[in-house]
């Protein structure tokens, strides 16, 4: 089992790597499209602003690699901004076109305190995971929600999560293990 974590200058790559290492998995960060295409599981992490993250992704040619990978049915996990970038568009930064791996768009959160920061239960399941975001997906591909916010979305071989499994303690580790067992 080989996991490739996209390192394009906009993600907490170290924490994602550490989370997989704690599960005893062969994991490495990469900027190489070939690594992304060849891995058993590819991970698109992401924090920060959508426009600069997408620019970094495209500069490394990872956008095209991820599209090819998902088209070919390769299991791919998007985390937080990685989920939002996978949508068709996001209204962040005045409107940015996404990778289109998931239907729908990312919109700014309009209720509660924003950024939405902290642990919140995800249904179905009921486990609490750690969230830190100001935008959220509006998508028909949602498979789980948290307080009305899309928490998990899936289309084909792409799975996007709004929370940070790498920062979600034992519940997060269990979630990553499930991703690995399906890869």
**What's the CA gap between 66 and 72, in Å, rounded?**
10
Verify whether residue 177 is a known catalytic residue: no
Q: How far is the CB of 22 from other proteins (least distance, A)?
A: 7
- For this structure, is 164 an active site residue? yes
Nearer to other proteins, 38 or 52 (CB): 52
Residue 55 binds other proteins (CB under 8 A): no
SS3 content of the chain, % helix, strand, coil (to 5): 35, 30, 35
Alpha-carbon span 102 to 88, nearest angstrom: 7
- Binding part of the chain for other proteins, among 14-22, 30-38, 65-73, 153-161 by CB under 8 A, reads 14-22
133 is catalytic: no
Non-local (6+) Cβ contacts of 127 within 8 A are: 121, 171, 174, 175
3-state secondary structure of 13: helix
* Cβ distance to other proteins smaller for residue 1 or 128: 128
CB atoms within 10 A of CB 145: 17
Annotated catalytic residue: which of 6, 80, 92, 179? 80
So which residues are the catalytic ones? 80, 164, 166
Contact set with other proteins (CB under 8 A): 12, 14-15, 18-19, 21-22, 47-49, 81, 112-121, 127-128, 130-134, 147, 164, 166-170, 172-173
């Amino acid at each position: 089992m080989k996991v490739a974590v996209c390192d394009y200058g906009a993600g907490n790559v170290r924490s994602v790597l550490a989370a997989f290492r704690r599960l005893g998995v062969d994991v490495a960060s990469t900027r190489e499209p070939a690594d992304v295409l060849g891995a058993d599981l590819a991970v698109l992490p992401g924090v920060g602003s959508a426009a600069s993250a997408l620019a970094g992704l495209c500069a490394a040619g990872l956008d095209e690699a991820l599209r090819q990978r998902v088209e070919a049915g390769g299991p791919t996990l998007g985390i937080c901004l990685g989920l939002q970038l996978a949508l068709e568009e996001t209204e962040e930064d005045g409107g940015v076109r996404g990778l289109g791996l998931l239907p729908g768009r990312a919109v700014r959160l309009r209720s509660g305190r924003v950024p939405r920061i902290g642990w919140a239960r995800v249904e179905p399941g009921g486990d609490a995971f750690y969230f830190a975001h100001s935008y959220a997906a509006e998508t028909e591909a949602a498979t789980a929600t948290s307080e009305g916010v899309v928490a998990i979305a899936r289309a084909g071989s792409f799975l996007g999560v709004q929370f940070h499994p790498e920062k979600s303690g034992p519940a997060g580790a269990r979630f990553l293990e499930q991703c690995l067992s399906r890869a």
